[in-house]
Structure 1
């Protein structure tokens, strides 16, 4: 991050006065949607493989919701047979990081992972572009691919299978919800004297505890 003494354009307001994290996250995401040039809902997803080696990749946030207020979480969708799908199912724990460079802000999330319901997955799948729905059937995500032609052949075969009408959701394609136990907000300030605020709770049913951190 920059060590400039120029104040960030997003420096107005004391976000450390926030009482709970979800409203603050919604505010920051909304501001990112107005300023980030590409994919303001992009987030780095960190998992751990069976050998204990960390894995990280970018995915897209598709909602911040849940069955009730205590189990609200960050929702995304993927191939359940992919590396991340298998790792999430095995450990039921994950971490996220949002970085909005234009706002000089970052949000880190750590928490517990659960599968979304079939109805939720069906509803989101129905909103995807037709090509993306076909791709969900055609791609054996994370598995070895002999050539680009093999992928295009699989897409063509899937298109022939579903030439018109609805394309059902593949059984291997669904979503996960990360219910946070910790959410940290970071905001760039001059000379690396940044603002950091963390919310923590022992489990989803417990109240949040708030603490300011040294940069």
Structure 2
């Protein structure tokens, strides 16, 4: 079995995912007039901003907020005795000070192995539910149907992860929501296979910011 690798993602699109999150910028405006020809501008720098701190001075919507850990080497399989495709369970954890949502962005084959024997293949995402979280989500996204790879994930459903403190927004004082999710694969083959095939794919996950102000 393939060894599971764990990577921490800090920004951009890496391996199977793409990402972004949010921050706060304060703007003060002053009008100068009546012959005044100069103005003082306060400049406050922050070097080494910590994106695990919800109030870090990182602009809203900046990819610099991203801090996600996930399994990036995954497998699915079946045996010659049945038609069901199964897989181990993998993990995604949001380490950021801000909540994020994610969904499948693309799924591409990396070789030319025929896929006609795959009736269906799905990626299943489950946000873990805490003791007080009654809105845990279960999302299944179709990757392959009838031997053809899905080429359009624009309508794929997102899964939201709370920030590292279990918060979905600045107004959420309960801290009751989960910052982690699990995922696996399932599906079926057309017939029980008598020979082993090993198709290889890359699944890209897109991470997007949640509105911290709501």
Rg bigger for which structure? 2
Determine which structure has the larger helix proportion and give its number.
Answer: 1
Query: TM-score, length-normalised on structure 1?
Result: 0.22
Query: TM-score, length-normalised on structure 2?
Result: 0.22
Higher relative contact order (Cα pairs below 8 Å, separated by 6+ residues): 2
